[in-house]
Amino acid sequence: MNGGIAIGPDDDTLLVTTTPHFPNYIARPGPASVETYLLSEVSGNRIGPSHGVFVLDSPAAEILFDDTGSLAHILTVAGSVRTIDTSLMIDVAAPIEGPLPTVSGFPPGRAPAEYFHASLSPDGRTMIANRWHGRGVTAFNLKDRTATTIDLPAAMVGGVAFNHAESNHGLLAVHEDVQVVVYRFDPPGTLTELSQLRIARPVIPNRGAAEPFGPLASIAWSGDGTHLIAATDMGRAEFQVLSVTEEGGLLTAERFLTACPLSDGNRNLANDILTSNRLRPPTSTPSPTPSPTATSPATNTAVPTASPSNPPTSIPSPTATILPPPSPTPTASPPPRPLYLPLALRERCRPDEQRLDIALVLDASTSMLEPTAAGRTKLEAATEAARILLDQLRLDKGDQAALIAFNADVTTLQTLTSVRADLDGALMRIAVAQQTRIDLGVQAAADEFGSARHRPSHTPVMVVLTDGRANPVPADVAVANAAAAKAAGITVYTVGVGADLDLEALRAMASSPAHVFLAPDAEQLADVYRAIAVALPCAGRYWPGGGTGP
């Protein structure tokens, strides 16, 4: 592990980056993932089990929860942002592709995750991320799913931190290597400098040195928003406290802080700063408008980057209605009247009480014999992923699974059964051939759910995997078959492997955007199927308009 970690607002949910690295800590381009754990399940010095996994194509550098804890925004070392549902660990919006951060001495997009910092604006609409030697920051609009670069004169930009407290609310602090700067942020991409103060440069890591390195330009606001804590290097002190007054217009150096030493007396590996700065001001009290100092402020003009090609999935913004108090009357109290309150509902189900019938629909075209990054065939990686999903089913309590393979034709290798040995044997009998009749695979799965083997009390789910485009029959036929299956109450997941995919068809076939999974390399299928397995027990719909059902 070497990357982002975050604790949710419930003080129990923990999101952790699980990332492979080279021995010199350069992050691999992929695969990588974020897993969810519960702090309440810590036993001794171990935590677990994992309650979900989200697959990434590059390591996660920062993980930021929204105020409700239902969403998390993930910044990767490749400069992209993913927004996920923290309960189901699935995408809820289109990825945002930002510019690659630049760290001298490392290939673009492959520097260690600890170099990267990000912070959410108090309204939850914007994530600001540093670019290290990229001379500026990136503003990610989490609503519109676009990215804007903001140039800064500093040669290096480290930590960034929005202030969520009432005092100095909404101001952005940036650690610029040898100085701390406070800005006012005006969306979509303008920073106005309010004040700055020079500090001693933090210790930059030297991995060949015997002396442990210090914090990487981290910065944070104090809980009440009146001070900043910034990484520095002053003797054995790693942090300096700065007071922030005059609505952000004045920074004053105060005391130094030293991390607890290691048991051998050496300096600790302190790298980040955690405070209670998540308090929000009352909605009835407007935030003060910071005034710039007498010096002429520098205004930085935004340079918008390309928007994502696929239409964004909107993230609903929380709203609140303030009801005025009833006017006092000198005589009698007003009669009672109905009061209608908004209902924020997140469906829950008890996985132990849900039973599943699942059809694994696998592409068996000749392209599945192509090698993965690890050298084995895509088909071998897919069958291993299928076994992992089967491991998560409760076959001993009645769950059932079927296996269907398609190419120029379709073969139901195993009808719905709870016998694991029969399912494992079916996975060994997959034979490849040319062409990709996805439509036949979908139809065969629907037919199996229409047979007497399907138990009406079980939730029917099909997981369709393909590594290419439908041929010779157009994808419209598969989309129509999937639509009929969904109308019959079947939940449809689609999994695409590689780059030569008909993404529009995969999205149209799936029950929702959250039911679409993409794996650039088949070696990522194991994590994809783990993520699907987490969501499966509650794949159906229980409240009208809610959940992740068909």
Task: Give the mean model confidence (pLDDT) for residues 190-211.
Answer: 74
Predicted local confidence at residue 267, as pLDDT: 54
Predicted local confidence at residue 146, as pLDDT: 95
Using CA atoms of 364, 369, 370, 375 in order, give the dihedral in degrees to the nearest 10.
Answer: 130
pLDDT at 110 over 80: no
- Is the pLDDT higher at 214 or at 66? 66
Query: Tell me: the pLDDT tens digits for 137-189?
Result: 999 999 999 999 999 988 889 999 999 999 999 999 999 988 999 999 999 88
Predicted local confidence at residue 31, as pLDDT: 62
Residue 116 pLDDT level (bands cut at 50, 70, 90): confident
pLDDT at 328 over 80: no
DSSP 472-509: SS-HHHHHHHHHHHHHTT-EEEEEEESS---HHHHHHH
- Is the pLDDT higher at 326 or at 289? 326
Determine the Cα–Cα distance for residues 1 and 404; give it in Å rounded to an integer.
37
pLDDT at 92 over 60: yes
Cis peptide before 330 (omega within 30 of 0): no
Could you tell me whether strands 136-141 and 146-151 are parallel, antiparallel, or unpaired per DSSP bridges? antiparallel
- pLDDT over 70, % of the chain: 75
Q: Where are the beta strands (DSSP E) in 222-334?
A: 227-234, 237-245, 250-257, 299-300, 302-304
- Is the pLDDT higher at 325 or at 513? 513
Determine the Cα–Cα distance for residues 226 and 182; give it in Å rounded to an integer.
12
Range from 89-103, 142-156, 436-450 carrying the lowest mean pLDDT:
89-103
- pLDDT over 90, % of the chain: 50
List CB contacts of 220: < 8 A, sequence separation 6 or more: 159, 161, 228, 229, 273, 274, 275, 277
Predicted local confidence at residue 212, as pLDDT: 43
pLDDT at 195 over 90: yes
Beta bridge partners of 124: none
Residue 257 pLDDT level (bands cut at 50, 70, 90): confident
Beta bridge partners of 174: 160, 181
List CB contacts of 314: < 8 A, sequence separation 6 or more: 93, 143
- Is the pLDDT higher at 259 or at 13? 13
Residue 236 pLDDT level (bands cut at 50, 70, 90): low
Residue 537 pLDDT level (bands cut at 50, 70, 90): low
Predicted local confidence at residue 269, as pLDDT: 56
Whole-prediction pTM: 0.55
Determine the Cα–Cα distance for residues 200 and 335; give it in Å rounded to an integer.
66
Residue 210 pLDDT level (bands cut at 50, 70, 90): very low
DSSP single-letter state for residue 392: H
Predicted local confidence at residue 353, as pLDDT: 60
Predicted local confidence at residue 202, as pLDDT: 83
Predicted local confidence at residue 497, as pLDDT: 94
Range from 15-19, 103-107, 337-341 carrying the lowest mean pLDDT:
337-341
Predicted local confidence at residue 266, as pLDDT: 57
Determine the Cα–Cα distance for residues 126 and 139; give it in Å rounded to an integer.
6
Range from 224-233, 260-269, 384-393 carrying the lowest mean pLDDT:
260-269
Predicted local confidence at residue 214, as pLDDT: 56
Task: Give the mean model confidence (pLDDT) for residues 249-263.
Answer: 80
pLDDT at 311 over 70: no
pLDDT at 71 over 80: yes
Determine the Cα–Cα distance for residues 354 and 208; give it in Å rounded to an integer.
54
Residue 382: count of CB within 10 angstroms of its CB: 27
Predicted local confidence at residue 45, as pLDDT: 77
Query: Tell me: the pLDDT tens digits for 211-233?
Result: 445 567 899 999 999 999 998 87
Predicted local confidence at residue 527, as pLDDT: 84
Query: Tell me: the pLDDT tens digits for 8-44?
Result: 998 899 999 876 544 334 444 456 789 899 999 888 7
Which two structure tokens, joined as six digits, stand for 320?
């609140």
Predicted local confidence at residue 532, as pLDDT: 86
Give the amino acid at 256: F
CB 377 within 8 A of CB 371: yes
Mean pLDDT of the chain: 80
Task: Give the mean model confidence (pLDDT) for residues 256-275.
Answer: 68
Residue 263 pLDDT level (bands cut at 50, 70, 90): low
Find the radius of gyration of the CA atoms of the chain. Answer: 26
